[in-house]
Every structure is written in structure tokens, then in C-alpha cells.
Amino acid sequence: MLKLSDGRMSNTLLLKANNLSLSFRQKKVLDDISLEIHTGKIITFIGPNGCGKSTLTKVLLGLQKTHAGKITRKRNLRVGYMPQKLQLDERLPLTVRGFLRLTHGCNHNEIDGWLERLNIKPLTNSSVHNLSGGEWQRVLLARALLVKPELLVLDEPVQGVDVQGQLELYQLIPQLRDELGCAVVMVSHDLHLVMAATDEVICLNGHVCCSGHPDTVSADPAYLELFGRKLNSPIAHYTHHHDHEHCSADHAHGDHQHD
């Protein structure tokens, strides 16, 4: 049994996953994955589409069961989750404030503060249906922050955000980590974008291909094998490497920015 201490020490173990495995229709989506998440650390899952990033995130959040393996969480771990995509029914008339007020256990007085912090204060009373992709991402981030997370999980946080917005968001994440003293788990398909903002990279392709500091990972043969070598432009998107033996890609769970 894992002993998890309480309190805000800089190195508290928040979550520990042992030997997670999951298959959909005989295809291994997660293959023997183990990892630890500690307070104050930013971990990025990176890997080609359909190779388990989003699934692993859902498993860690407890939204998806695994066929094998074990997850131990700190007691009453508060998790803030920013989903990759959230589509609301158009017939639901909801303002940004109305949406944020739905956060379970949030203090309604804190809503304005976060809206201010994330530069979306003027949108407070706008309909959630009239927001741009970037604005909606910030609203979702605000909702994740309102739970006062000890663990912040961001699934493709810059999807639909313009380049300027992406840089801002990646600058913001380490700041938020420092302010809240939380751990951050991010899902990304592009290492170069997140490199400066992350402490540890886990490169996934069903199994953990390689992991460690971003500099180490970007030089790792397994990483280069997975992503090809065309990574010289600072905001280059990776080339999908269809020949790789593991990547017969189950595209069924929402990763869909093919380049």
C-alpha cells in the first residue's frame, strides 16, 4: 500500500499508476504504463494521434477503467480538468458566468478573479455559444482552476488557439503551477511548443517510448523514430509516421488534428 502524505510539500506524491493496460477490440491502447505525478511538476504526454494520450488522461482522471493495473491517488485529490473539446447543446442559453457557476463546490466570488486573470473579464455575460475557440479554451481553463486543483489536467490546451494565444497560454501554465502549487499534466502533440513549459515529457505510443527532461527526450532515438526528424522549425507540426509498427492508430477517441 502506498503511503501518501497530506499537505503542500513540494514533492508530495499525488498520483501513482502501476502497469496500466487497456485494449479496445484486441488493439492495445495502453500497454503497461507506470508513472508518478508529484506536486509542482509539469508533465507532458506527447505522441502521435490515436496512440493513447487522451485515453491515458481519462484513465488517470477515473473516467475510463483499465483492464489491468492500479492507480493510487492522494486522498480527496482535487482535480481540475480542461477537456480537449466540450460541445454544448445550442438550445441551452448559458452565459460564461452561468457556465462557471456550475463548478461543483466553487466559491462564486472567485469567478471574477479568474476571469480577470485569464483576460476574459469582458466575456462574463456573453453567451457560451458565441465564443471563439481560444476564448472558450480560457473559459474551460477557468472552470478547471475554480476547483482549486492540486492536479491540473489539460488535454490539448491550445487547440483552436492562434499562435500568439498559444505562446501566452504556455507562459501562463508554469505561472499557475507556481501560484496554486499544483501539479500539471498536459497532453500535446507538439513537443517544441511545450518544451519550455514542462519538467518532464512522457512520449507515448501505446507503451511509454521514452520519458524524461524535454531536452533528453527530443534527442532520444525512440522519440525521433516516432516523430521523424523534421523538427527544426520552432512551431513545426510533427510528421505522422505511418510506418511505425505500433501506430495502426485507433482514431476513435477524439484526437484529430492530422497534419
Partner 1 sequence: MTELFAVWWLMPLFAGMLLAISAGPLGSFVVWRKMAFFGDTLAHGALLGITFGVLADLNPTFAIILGSVSLALVLLPLQYASRLSADTLLGIVSHGTLAIGLVALSLADGVRVDLMGYLFGDLLAINEEHVLWLLASTALTLLLISVFWNALLAVTVSPELAKIEGRRVAMLDLMLIILLAFTVALAMKVVGILLISALLIIPPAAAHSLSRSPQQMAIVASLIGVISVALGMWASFYWDTPAGPSIVVAAMGLFGLSLLVQRKN
- Binding footprint of partner 1 on the chain (CB under 8 A): 61-63, 79, 81, 83, 86, 88-89, 91-95, 98-99, 101-105, 143, 147
Q: Strand, helix or coil at 130?
A: helix
If the CB atoms of residues 70 and 108 are measured against partner 1, the closer one turns out to be: 108
Is the CB of 6 or the CB of 89 nearer to partner 1? 89
CB of 166 to partner 1, least distance (A): 23
Helix/strand/coil percent split, the chain, to 5: 30, 25, 45
Take residue 17 and report the three cell numbers written for it: 499508476
- Nearest approach in angstroms of CB 39 to partner 1 is 19
User: Whole-number minimum distance, CB 147 to partner 1, in Å?
Assistant: 6
Residue 91 C-beta: closest distance to partner 1, Å: 5
Shortest distance in whole angstroms from residue 89 CB to partner 1: 5
- Residue among 93 and 234 whose Cβ is closer to partner 1: 93
The rounded distance, in Å, linking the Cα atoms of 169 and 174 is 9
Radius of gyration of the chain (CA): 18
Is the four-CA dihedral 247, 215, 200, 258 of positive or negative sign?
Answer: negative
> How is residue 129 annotated by DSSP?
G
Nearest CB to partner 1, comparing residues 98 and 181: 98
Q: Which residues pair with 131 in a beta bridge?
A: none
**Nearest to partner 1 of 176, 203 (CB atom):** 176
Give the span between the Cα atoms of 138 and 169, in whole angstroms.
9
* Phi-psi category of residue 62: left, alpha or beta, with phi > 0 → left and psi -120 to 50 → alpha: left
